[in-house]
């Protein structure tokens, strides 16, 4: 099982992580605004995550941490 942690208040909602995800389980949370006023990224299906860390590598602000257990 893997765990993906987003630093929500630092996310600028660029969507690059969603584009990089091979499983397409990351999207921008259009219901939430973070402290900077952006829609942050969120994982939509944690059980489908393969912990490839493509999202974390693609993130220009390094706000994603992937823990592979």
- Domain at 32, CATH number: 3.30.70.20
Tens-digit pLDDT string for the chain (69 aa)? 679 999 999 999 999 999 999 999 999 999 999 999 999 999 999 999 999 999 999 999 999 999 987
d(CA 58, CA 60): 6
How many domains does one find in the chain? 1
- Expressed as residue numbers, the domain containing 54 is 2-68
User: Does the model's pTM come out above 0.85?
Assistant: yes
In this prediction, residue 5 carries a pLDDT of 95
Asked whether 50 and 60 are in contact (CB, 8 A), the reply is no
Q: Does an H or E element contain 20, and which? A: helix 16-20
> 31, exposed or middle or buried, with CB in 10 Å at 0-12, 13-18, 19+?
exposed
Distances (CA, A) of 62 to 8, 32, 65: 11, 20, 8
């Amino acid at each position: 099982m893997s765990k993906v942690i987003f630093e929500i208040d630092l996310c600028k909602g660029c969507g690059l992580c969603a584009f990089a995800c091979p499983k397409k389980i990351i999207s921008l949370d259009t219901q939430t605004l973070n402290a900077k006023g952006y829609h942050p990224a969120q994982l939509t299906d944690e059980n489908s995550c393969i912990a490839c860390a493509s999202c974390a590598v693609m993130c220009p602000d390094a706000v994603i941490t992937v823990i592979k257990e």
